[in-house]
Amino acid sequence: MKLKNLNPLFLSLCVALPYGCSTTSHKEESIATAEVENDDGSVQPEVEPVEIDEALDDEGSKSTENVPEIGTEEDEINQALKNGIPIELNDRVEKWIDYFVNKNPEAFQRFMDRGQPYKKMVVAMLRDRGIPTELYYLAMIESGFVLHAKSPMSAVGFWQFIPATGRRYGLRVDNYVDERRDPRRATIAAAMYLSDLNNVFDSWYLALSAYNAGEMRIMNAIMRGKSRDFWQLVKDKQLPSETMDYIPKFMAAFLIGTNPEKYGFRRPTAEPNEDLVAVSVPSPISLTTISEYAGVPLVTLQLTNPHLNKGVTPPGTQNYKIWVPKAFVNTIQENQERLATARLNISTKVAAVEKVQSKHQQHPQEQKVSSRKFHRVKRGEHLAMIADKYGMTVGQLKVFNRLTSSSIRPGMKLKIKASEIADAGSSSKEKIQALASVDKKGSGTYRVRRGDNLNEIAKRFGMSVHSLKKMNKLRRTDLRVGQVLRVAKNS
């Protein structure tokens, strides 16, 4: 289903639906520029599930009690947003303010009230990953904070991931579990996805546009419009109609949400949800058994784990992390051996199917840290800390990542072991496959890495610099890390 010619009336109505405006096109198409195929034809995810699980452990050790209110913290993250998305008033933003305030105030009040119990958790997770905390309001316009929100394009959850994008960013999606409905796992995945989009487009305006419409559609709009200015692309009507309204709608939600009284709304008073801890249990096992053996009320387990579709942890993995209130962590850990004896006997055939569906979804205990290729920088980390974690030196980290200084930022993706690109024994074909993707028609795309230049890229793909510049409508030879280039067919 394509959504290029949506009726304007539909655009104004969709925000009133339980799932907000849930037709975003990163839910329509996979993003070929970010995908690398494995030898078996499966797609190598941008984020391994082990990264999500490690983040869960990290978040579980923190309290959200003192999380700064959105818009009050002046640091490099929030300054980056103000530089990238100056919150401004124009006709399009005022149109959405008028819609929320005068035409559908009841819905907007519900959005604020529903989001309030999750607000500190979402803000803390965005903040720790270098994402502007104002993007809390992106989840608001995506889903209205309806946990079971599902769009016509099968996008699910607060952040409205389609299955393919969810899996690419470390979320398990199969018959037994749908982690897109886990607010915490999905927020971590969304933060990583948004970070990657901002690295590619070097603009929060365009990053959010790509979250809505897909990377390729925004890249094509930039090429057609010969501009990286969002408002210019809007003026020239180079973007999908929904995307032209997407950022103004986000801005309107932010302006109202941070000062609700000014616009006649009531400030939400709901208390934050109880802090939960991710605790590992043998898998597959039913929540009913965990309740009986560990003394956790079944209704509590069901409420804190809405992503377990059948009330059972997934097969195909020895252990799985579930969410429980802190008060029950010890009793679950004390009953690990007893729980292990109560694993469900899922048939071999079903387990085999689930194992294929959940490729790359192993528990971190099954994936040794040494097998990891990348590390996402979290707030407060420095190179020496990361190097020590992976048994490396700071010098090795800097060489692997072509860093000229020790300065790193939250959300940055660091290589922590030599990949195919760094392996001198790799063939040229393997190197290119690790960097590029080719669509069904043979057209290719290439994502620029640190240290690349046009001459090297042109040689890799058997092109001249002139033809590479012409294909990408480049006027200069300057390149940005993360920039996506078109390359010759059948390279």
Average pLDDT, the chain: 77
**Pick the residue with more confidence: 379 or 32?**
379
**Pick the residue with more confidence: 460 or 342?**
342
In this predicted model, what pLDDT tens digit does every residue of 430-448 receive, in sequence order? 333 434 544 434 457 787 8
Which burial class, exposed, middle or buried, applies to 3 when counting CB atoms under 10 A from its CB (0-12, 13-18, 19+)? middle
Percent of the chain with pLDDT over 70: 74
User: pTM score, two decimals?
Assistant: 0.70
- Lowest average pLDDT, out of 159-168, 235-244, 418-427, 474-483, goes to 418-427
Other C-beta atoms closer than 10 Å to the C-beta of 269 total 7
**Pick the residue with more confidence: 328 or 35?**
328
35 pLDDT band, cuts 50/70/90, is very low
Q: Is the pLDDT of residue 345 over 90?
A: no
Token pair 């899996």 in the structure block, residue: 167
Instruction: Give pLDDT, residue 370.
Output: 40
**Pick the residue with more confidence: 81 or 368?**
81
Question: For residue 144, what are its two tokens?
Answer: 């209205």
Instruction: Give pLDDT, residue 371.
Output: 53
413 strand-pairing partners: 376
397-415 burial: b if 16+ Cβ within 10 Å, else e:
bbebbebeeeebebbbbbb
In this predicted model, what pLDDT tens digit does every residue of 205-249 receive, in sequence order? 899 999 999 989 999 999 999 999 888 999 999 999 999 999 999
**Cα dihedral sign, 143-149-150-151:** negative
C-alpha of 396 from chain center: 28
Question: For residue 432, what are its two tokens?
Answer: 């290119």
The CA-based dihedral angle spanning residues 443, 209, 18, 324, taken in that order and rounded to the nearest 10 degrees: 90
Instruction: Give pLDDT, residue 43.
Output: 53
In this predicted model, what pLDDT tens digit does every residue of 117-153 receive, in sequence order? 999 999 999 988 888 888 999 999 999 999 888 888 7
Q: Which domains does the chain have, with CATH numbers?
A: 8-263 (1.10.530.10), 276-365 (no CATH), 368-415 (3.10.350.10), 428-487 (3.10.350.10)
Instruction: Give pLDDT, residue 300.
Output: 94
Percent of the chain with pLDDT over 90: 40
In this predicted model, what pLDDT tens digit does every residue of 465-487 receive, in sequence order? 888 888 888 877 778 777 888 88
56 pLDDT band, cuts 50/70/90, is confident
For residues 439 and 256, what is the distance between their CA atoms, to the nearest angstrom? 42
Which of 254, 154, 244, 159 shows the shortest CA–CA distance to 206? 244
Dump the DSSP string for 298-312.
HHHHHHH-TTBTTSB
- The three-class DSSP label of residue 142 is helix
- Lowest average pLDDT, out of 4-8, 130-134, 449-453, goes to 4-8
For residues 404 and 422, what is the distance between their CA atoms, to the nearest angstrom? 17
Instruction: Give pLDDT, residue 477.
Output: 76
The answer to whether the peptide bond before residue 284 is cis (omega within 30 degrees of 0) is: yes
Q: What mean pLDDT is predicted for residues 260-273?
A: 92
Please tell me which of 32-41, 254-263, 363-372, 405-414 the model is most confident about, judged by mean pLDDT. Answer: 254-263
Amino acid (1-letter code) at residue 153 = M
